[in-house]
Amino acid sequence: MALTNEQYDSIMREYDAIRNRNARITEEKQKKIYAKFPELAEWENKAVSLKIKKAMLLMEGANPSKLEELEDEATMLLVNRVALIESSGLSEEDFEPVYDCKDCKDTGYVYDSEGNRKKCHCFREREIEILYNQSGIRSLLKKENFSKLTYDFHSGEDLNKLRTAVEVCKKFIVNFDEEYSNLVLCGTVGTGKSFLSCCIAHDLLESYHSVIYLSSIALFDILAKKQFSSDFEEREESNKNLYECDLLIIDDLGTELTNSFVASALFGLINERHLRRKSTIISTNLDLPDIREKYSDRVLSRLTGSYTFLNLTGRDMRTLVK
C-alpha cells in the first residue's frame, strides 16, 4: 500500500508547484541575460525562425537540397552562438533550466537502463517523510531499532527467548511482501516487546511501507471517537488508515480500560485486517487466559489462529539501563 492516493496526489501537486516556480525562475534568468546581451536574444530569434522554416518545408515535402541548406545554416548559427557566449563571459550552464532535482527534472520519476519508469530518490525522500510522520513514532525510532539491539542484559533461557524473537522479527521483515503474518509479543514490563516492535517499524518504514504505531489506549480512543462520530467522512478516513496501512502495531494491549465496546472493537479491527491480509503486531503483558477473560473467546481464537506468539522473559531492561 505505502502511500494513499491522497498522499500520492499531494506529492505530485508539490512537483507541479516546483516545476512552475522553477520555470518562472528560468525565464527571469534568461530575460536578464538577453537584456544585458541583446545579440544573444537576436540569435535566439533566428534559431526559432529557422526551426519554423524547417518544419514548414518538411510539411511541404521540400527537396533534400533545401533541407541541407537549412542544416548548414543551423550549424553556422550554433557556431555563432558558442562564440557569442564565450565573448559574453557566460557558459552553457547559464542557459540551463533550473531544477530542484536534476535527476528527474522535478517530475518525481526517472528511467533505468532498461527504460523502466521508477520513482526518483527525491520522490522516495518525500514518501518516507510522509510515512514516518504518519507512524507517529519518528523520534522513538531513532533510539529503538536493530542498531541499538544488545543482549547484555539477558542470560540463560531469557537470552534464548530474545534471540529467537529477534530471528522471527527479522524474518517477518524480510518476508513481509511475500508472506502474510502477524505477531503477538508477550512478556512482563521491560523485556523488549515494544523495542522489537519499533525495530520492525523502523525497517519497514525505511523500505517504504506504511506503518501506524498506537498504544492500546490511543487506539481505542480513536475507535470510540470513530464509532460515535456523526461525520461519515471522518469515520471512513479513520477506517481506511487503520484497516489499510501495511502494518498496524498495537502497543501495551491490556493497559486500556476494558469494556464490551473495547472487546468488540478489537475483534472487529483484527478480523477486518485479517480478511484484508494486512499484518498486525500486538505487544502485551497479558497471557492467554487474561486475553480470553478481557476480550472474549473469539478474540483469543483469532489471535491463536492467525498470529505467532513470542514470549519474552527476564528483568526490566529499562531499569537496568538506567
Which whole number is the average pLDDT over 192-212? 94
Residue 201 to residue 195: CA distance in whole angstroms: 10
Confidence of residue 199 (pLDDT cuts 50, 70, 90): very high
Residue 290 to residue 157: CA distance in whole angstroms: 24
pLDDT in tens, 5-51: 888 999 999 999 999 999 999 999 888 888 888 877 777 777 777 77
| pLDDT for position 222 | 87
Cell of 194: 515494544
| pLDDT for position 229 | 60
**Across the strands, what pairs with 215?**
251
DSSP string for 2-38? -S-HHHHHHHHHHHHHHHHHHHHHHHHHHHHHHHH-H
Which whole number is the average pLDDT over 284-295? 94
- φ, ψ at 293 (rounded to 5°): -65, -40
Residue 315 to residue 191: CA distance in whole angstroms: 7
Q: Where are the alpha helices (DSSP H) in 61-176?
A: 64-87, 121-135, 138-141, 156-174
Comparing 50-64, 90-104, 130-144, the range with the smallest average pLDDT is 50-64
3-state secondary structure of 112: coil
Comparing 42-51, 62-71, 85-94, 297-306, the range with the smallest average pLDDT is 62-71
Confidence of residue 78 (pLDDT cuts 50, 70, 90): confident
| pLDDT for position 237 | 58
Which whole number is the average pLDDT over 50-64? 70
| pLDDT for position 284 | 96
Which whole number is the average pLDDT over 85-91? 79
Which whole number is the average pLDDT over 49-72? 70
Cell of 203: 525497517
DSSP string for 23-91? HHHHHHHHHHHHHH-HHHHHHHHHHHHHHHHHHHHHHHT--HHHHHHHHHHHHHHHHHHHHHHHHTT--
Cell of 248: 498496524
Average pLDDT, the chain: 87
153 contact partners, CB below 8 Å, separation of at least 6: 314, 315, 317, 320, 321
Which whole number is the average pLDDT over 172-197? 95
35, burial (CB in 10 Å: exposed 0-12, middle 13-18, buried 19+): exposed
Are 108 and 122 spatial neighbours (Cβ–Cβ below 8 Å)?
yes
Question: In this predicted model, which residue has the larger pLDDT, 284 or 133?
Answer: 284
At residue 68, does pLDDT exceed 90?
Answer: no
pLDDT in tens, 238-248: 567 899 899 99
Strands lying side by side in the sheet with 211-215: 211-215, 247-253, 279-284, 183-187, 308-312
Which residue bears the cell 496501512?
A: 245
Confidence of residue 311 (pLDDT cuts 50, 70, 90): very high
| pLDDT for position 47 | 74
Q: Are strands 183-187 and 279-284 parallel, antiparallel or unpaired?
A: parallel
At residue 109, does pLDDT exceed 90?
Answer: yes
Confidence of residue 226 (pLDDT cuts 50, 70, 90): confident
Residue 141 to residue 197: CA distance in whole angstroms: 10
At residue 209, does pLDDT exceed 70?
Answer: yes
Comparing 108-112, 194-198, 314-318, the range with the smallest average pLDDT is 314-318
Residue 9 to residue 183: CA distance in whole angstroms: 33
3-state secondary structure of 247: strand
pLDDT in tens, 129-168: 888 888 878 888 988 999 999 888 888 999 999 999 999 9
Residue 165 to residue 136: CA distance in whole angstroms: 24
Q: What percent of the chain has pLDDT over 90?
A: 54
| pLDDT for position 233 | 56
Q: Note the pTM of the prediction, 2 decimals.
A: 0.73
Confidence of residue 94 (pLDDT cuts 50, 70, 90): confident
